[in-house]
């Protein structure tokens, strides 16, 4: 359609940004304890347990100031807290703080690992397997670093399941033109919201071992699991429970972040990665590579510490923290269900259960007439759909073509973060718009 001129009246009063997983911008309230410890690391007049955390962090800082550079891998006491958190999460499987690297959000760690992996020319160029639909960080980083993107498709009809047969198909085809070295998994899924079963994770680990691939497990939504019967299993826990035949050889890097889960602290840019079974010489190169950037923001490191070392029973902040965390996650679970049910009542929509993460990725029907018009305008059909939706309703979504999808299918990604009343409004407006759209192009 035509670009609207400035000042032209629109049929809506505000633009609702349901396109980005930015919790606080959507009105999610910050968790009190997180916001007490972080500024305490700058200045100090708060509850005792918050002070205790802040002092511990400051003691790890040069000159006891959060403004000093840290070691390039991150402050040691925070890495120790991360290792303890991972051990507790995984039921006692040991974690060593020397294998923890604190990063500028998970994105920075993911790009660093890709940078470390990519080399070669022509057919020896490094290939990296990524799921389609994918989070566009992966394709963008591979383009920037001149790696080869190897697509494997998630199965929409099986709730965006991951099938090893599809991994094998994709890998075999890729070996003709590049050197596949890594397999990326996003669990819980973005943009698709699925939570992988334990069996699926075992199959993936077996596949990685057989094919000699490094596993990159993007687990930034690990607390966001809503569906009945779904449980988050970390790749590390499953790897070690499969026994030494796997746990002593499979190379694994897993990622976590302060930006998602119940925290939603996107702007602090806090994250970490844990490396498992990395060759010592490769690990030395990784440490050298992260030291080029000096260190990740120390304020983000401090925030990561609060996430992995939250208030414990008996501490003054425990009750508030537990209540707030539970409320955020319960609210998201309710909105996940509401979104799935609403979309499945829209003619021409098909929406898988939102088992986890913060997004829904429904399949939508676009009439042939609209497809032809979009193509004539040089647009992807679902991009045209999303643009028309924005022009008509003020609701901003991301077209499925931005994430990749099977040829001939169309989707959009929408976050479930808006407050419940606003989300209901968004869902109603999308249904109304869709009815009109189908009518206009039938």
pLDDT digits (tens, 9 = 90+) for 349-365: 999 999 999 999 999 99
Examine the pLDDT at 52 and tell me if it is beyond 80: yes
- Indicate the DSSP class of residue 442: -
On whether the 50-308 domain is CATH 3.40.50.620, my answer is: no
Residue 214's CB is within 10 A of a number of other CB atoms, namely 21
Burial class (CB in 10 A: 0-12, 13-18, 19+), 408: exposed
Examine the pLDDT at 384 and tell me if it is beyond 90: yes
**Rounded distance between C-alpha atoms, residue 140 and residue 327, angstroms:** 35
- Residue 13: pLDDT band (50, 70, 90) is confident
Examine the pLDDT at 2 and tell me if it is beyond 60: no
Predicted confidence at residue 44, as pLDDT, reads 62
Q: In this structure, which topology does domain 16-27+324-441 adopt according to CATH? A: 3.90.1150
Using one digit for the tens of pLDDT, what is the confidence trace for 180-195? 999 999 999 999 999 9
16-27+324-441 matches 50-308 in fold: no
Name the one residue in this structure whose structure tokens are 């006891």. 64
Q: In 119-163, which residue ranges form alpha helices assigned H by DSSP?
A: 137-144
For the chain, the structural domain boundaries read: 16-27+324-441, 50-308
Mean pLDDT computed over 228-232: 92
Predicted confidence at residue 139, as pLDDT, reads 94
């Amino acid at each position: 359609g035509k670009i609207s001129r400035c000042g032209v009246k629109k049929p809506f009063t505000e633009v609702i940004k349901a396109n980005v997983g930015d919790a606080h911008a959507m009105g999610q309230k910050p968790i009190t304890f997180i916001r007490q410890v972080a500024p305490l690391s700058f200045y100090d007049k708060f509850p005792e347990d918050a002070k205790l955390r802040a002092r511990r962090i400051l003691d790890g800082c040069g000159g006891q100031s959060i403004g000093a550079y840290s070691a390039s891998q991150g402050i040691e006491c925070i890495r120790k807290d991360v290792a303890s958190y991972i051990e507790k999460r995984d039921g006692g499987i040991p974690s060593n703080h020397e294998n923890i690297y604190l990063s500028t959000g998970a994105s920075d760690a993911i790009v660093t690992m890709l940078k470390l992996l990519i080399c070669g020319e022509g057919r020896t160029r490094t290939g990296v397997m990524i799921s389609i639909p994918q989070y566009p960080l992966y394709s963008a980083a591979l383009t920037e670093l001149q790696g080869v993107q190897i697509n494997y498709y998630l199965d929409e009809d099986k709730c965006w399941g991951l099938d090893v047969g599809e991994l094998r198909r994709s890998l075999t085809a890729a070996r003709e033109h590049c050197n596949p070295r890594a397999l990326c998994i996003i669990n819980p899924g973005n943009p698709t919201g699925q939570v992988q079963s334990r069996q699926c994770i075992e199959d993936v680990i077996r596949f990685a071992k057989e094919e000699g691939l490094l596993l990159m497990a993007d687990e930034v939504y690990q607390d966001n699991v809503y569906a009945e019967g779904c449980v988050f299993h970390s790749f590390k826990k499953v790897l070690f429970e499969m026994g030494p035949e796997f746990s002593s050889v499979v190379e694994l890097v897993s990622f976590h972040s302060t930006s998602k889960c119940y925290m939603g602290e996107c702007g602090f840019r806090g994250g970490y990665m844990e490396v498992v079974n990395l060759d010592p010489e490769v690990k030395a190169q990784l440490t050298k590579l992260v030291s080029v950037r000096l260190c990740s923001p120390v304020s983000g490191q401090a925030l990561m510490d609060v996430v992995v070392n939250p208030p414990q029973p008996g501490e003054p902040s425990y009750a508030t923290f537990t209540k707030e965390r539970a409320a955020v996650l319960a609210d998201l679970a309710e909105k996940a269900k509401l979104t799935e049910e609403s979309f499945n009542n829209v003619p021409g929509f098909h929406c898988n259960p939102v088992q986890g993460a913060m997004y829904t990725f429904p399949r939508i029907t676009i009439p042939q007439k609209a497809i032809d018009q979009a193509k004539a305008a040089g647009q992807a059909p679902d991009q045209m759909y999303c643009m028309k939706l924005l022009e008509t309703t003020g609701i901003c979504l991301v077209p499925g073509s931005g994430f990749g999808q099977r040829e001939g299918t169309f989707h959009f990604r929408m976050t479930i973060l808006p407050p419940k009343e606003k989300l209901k409004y968004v869902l109603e407006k999308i249904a109304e718009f869709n009815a009109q759209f189908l009518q206009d192009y039938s």
